[in-house]
Amino acid sequence: MRDIIDGFLKFQREAFPQRTELFKQLATSQHPRTLFISCSDSRLVPELVTQREPGDLFVIRNAGNIVPSYGPEPGGVSATVEYAIAALEVTDVVICGHSDCGAMTAIATCKCLDHMPAVRNWLRYADSAKVVNEAREHQNERARVDSMVRENVIAQLANIKTHPSVRLALEQGRLALHGWVYDIETGSIDAFDGAHNRYVSLAEHPDTCAVPARLGLAA
């Protein structure tokens, strides 16, 4: 814990003074344009990977970068999605999975999660990706997990479209959805191309989108 506190002291000493104007602006308002939904994994840092500053990203992180489909039960993810879309009016949502994901590995390799009942129940929101992945042939376990990570991002893109706030923003053409998979070792990102139903390199195809704005309902 000491290194965390030392980090805070360094922030106060070095990072904060470089951004006094920014924090002054941010003190009373925020206008992030993007809702970034990623795994809680310590190795994926949204602001680092996208080189964003405070105030730029509205972030949800949880085990498996999961968005439960809309329902009557109260849920932190659902409330945060709704706030981002309806109140902050973000223009883009990124759902970002990553390589070597523990949650997706547990699903893909059918690890017994009886000793972690909360995790087991939570990961059921990835069931549609699980059955698709299980029906496929995989060359080895690594390929099985990589495929599960990708299918899960696609499943969560479908889940988020069930939220009324998202549905409305898509209908009004003011929201785009993005599905990414970040590779920890290489620092690269593959993005889901919704028009062609495949993943492509984001570096090579920076305009790739799962659901572009204006075409929300058609996609």
Shortest Cβ 88–Zn ion spacing (Å): 25
For Zn ion, give the closer residue by CB, 129 or 170. Answer: 129
Written as one string, the DSSP assignment of 121-169 is: HHGGGGHHHHHHHHTS--SSHHHHHHHHHHHHHHHHHHHHTTSHHHHHH
- The verdict on 60 binding Zn ion (CB under 5 A) reads no
Segment lying near Zn ion (by CB under 5 A), choices 2-10, 31-39, 51-59, 141-149 = 31-39
- The verdict on 177 binding Zn ion (CB under 5 A) reads no
- Binder of Zn ion out of 101, 157, 160, 176 (CB under 5 A): 101
Q: Quick one: tokens of 199?
A: 């993943």
For Zn ion, give the closer residue by CB, 41 or 146. Answer: 41
For Zn ion, give the closer residue by CB, 30 or 109. Answer: 109
Exposure on the CB side of residue 76, measured as CA atoms within 13 A: 7
Segment lying near Zn ion (by CB under 5 A), choices 38-46, 53-61, 111-119, 203-211 = 38-46
Sign of CA dihedral 167, 85, 155, 219: positive
- Residue 125: alpha-carbon gap to chain centroid: 14
Sign of CA dihedral 9, 11, 95, 70: positive
- The verdict on 175 binding Zn ion (CB under 5 A) reads no
SS3 content of the chain, % helix, strand, coil (to 5): 40, 15, 40
Exposure on the CB side of residue 91, measured as CA atoms within 13 A: 7
Shortest Cβ 40–Zn ion spacing (Å): 7
Shortest Cβ 85–Zn ion spacing (Å): 24
- The verdict on 123 binding Zn ion (CB under 5 A) reads no
Distance CA 81, CA 72 (A): 15
- Interface positions, 39-58, toward Zn ion (CB under 5 A): 39, 41
For Zn ion, give the closer residue by CB, 38 or 165. Answer: 38
- The verdict on 190 binding Zn ion (CB under 5 A) reads no
Q: Is 179 helix (H, G, I), strand (E, B) or coil?
A: strand
Shortest Cβ 182–Zn ion spacing (Å): 10
List residues binding Zn ion (CB under 5 A). 39, 41, 101
